[in-house]
Structure 1
Amino acid sequence: MEEQPVFPEVTLEDSKERVYPFSEFAGKYVMLTFIYTACTDVCPELEMNLAQVYNSISEEYVGEDIVFMSISLDPEQDDPDTLEKYRAYFGSDGETWRMARITDEMELNALLDDFGVIVIPDGYGHFQHNSAFYLVDPNGILIEVMDYIEIGTASDNLLSILKEEASDL
């Protein structure tokens, strides 16, 4: 977090089978989580909490100033069809909140390393990993790592950032 890494240029494939570079979101904040759909532990809670943050943000900001994205840690298993089913469980619209994967292993690993996300495969198709909300600014710089359990704090922090940005225009 202190290093404020820049989101590396990666190619995403989302639940709608669209393929695009992360730079598609230049000029917008991006609230991120890292998940995998076979997770039965922290990932469902992480996504339910992200849904609450997403729903707390005024429609005037969502899509215009900020987008939400859940990126899979398991691109082999989490194909677009799987991501599409997962998306529906949490009320993600697939547009202003996207579920995506990075199919290039080197790109995914570079992103995880840059953002300090530790992923340890257990050998049985599951992973141990740290979980948080990650906020990338309109220049692609990681500016906040927030506790995913503190939903109100994350929502308040995000709204404050968005309002401040709007007042600077």
Structure 2
Amino acid sequence: MMSNLYTKIASIVVLLFGILLIFIGTDGFTAFTAETARVNKLLEEKPQFPDVTFEDSKEREYSIEEFKENHVLITFFYSSCTTVCIDLEMNMSELYDKIPKEYIGDKIDFLSISFDPERDDPATLDVYKNMFSSDGETWRMARIRDQKQLNNLLEEFGVIVIPDDYGNFAHNSAFYLVDGNGVLQEVMDYKDVDAAAERIIEILEVGEGQS
């Protein structure tokens, strides 16, 4: 009899402990995947875009300040990718077309950043951008040649990049929106272009009303 009671108590303790672990690991049940928890953490911390030097498809070098006080919508990719990066940049192109033309280059710019700087030199980036109708100005594709700077940016923005033995990378993907001060404002699902466009337009319209 006592043995059964102890067994029940032990089972309840184990159950409660498991619930506690899930609660902690999912930010109080608000995040049920590691990716959701990562995004929630980014949106809470709102990291500042670090000091890096870009080199784009036209061999120009500059920092994030190049975009003045505009918002910048960012993706991370590598041109040798044959899977998710293609979908990511195709959706970036679709999103670009959904933003009102008067905002493009005036209130928002687009920037695709390669995390494979050795292979994604300016010539490669120039060919790659043409695949998605990037104009190289209001939507630029660039690399960060300094590996330490690149690693710092990836870490700050929670971008996971894991190389394999065949020159490929496993990585997560999203739309990242930073404001005119380089502060991360939104991390959006790259698969839901309509929702991303609606949110970006909302932010830009609010900013316009405050100017």
TM-score using structure 2 length: 0.79
Which structure has more strand as a fraction of its residues? 1
Q: Any unmatched runs of 5+ in structure 1? A: none
Which residue of the partner structure matches residue 46 of structure 2?
4
| Residues 9, 23 of structure 1: 8 Å contact kept | no
Cα distance in 2 between the residues matched to 1:141 and 1:26: 13
Check if 1:50 corresponds to 2:98. no
Check if 1:39 corresponds to 2:101. no
Cα distance in 1 between the residues matched to 2:188 and 2:122: 27
Q: Which amino acid aligns with 1:122?
A: D
Equivalent of 1:99 in 132, 141, 157:
141
Which residue of the partner structure matches residue 166 of structure 2?
124
Which residue of the partner structure matches residue 165 of structure 1?
207
CA shift for structure 1 position 76 = 0.3
Which residue of the partner structure matches residue 61 of structure 1?
103
Q: Any unmatched runs of 5+ in structure 2? A: 1-41
Percent of counterpart pairs with the same letter?
Answer: 56
Q: Which amino acid aligns with 1:52?
A: E
Q: Which amino acid aligns with 1:166?
A: E
CA shift for structure 1 position 88 = 0.2
Which residue of the partner structure matches residue 71 of structure 1?
113
CA shift for structure 1 position 26 = 3.3
| Structure 1 moving runs of 4+ over 4 Å | none
| Residues 16, 84 of structure 1: 8 Å contact kept | yes
Q: Which amino acid aligns with 1:10?
A: V
Which structure has more helix as a fraction of its residues? 2
Cα distance in 1 between the residues matched to 2:103 and 2:130: 22
TM-score using structure 1 length: 0.99
Q: How many residues align?
A: 169
Give me the CA root mean square deviation: 0.6
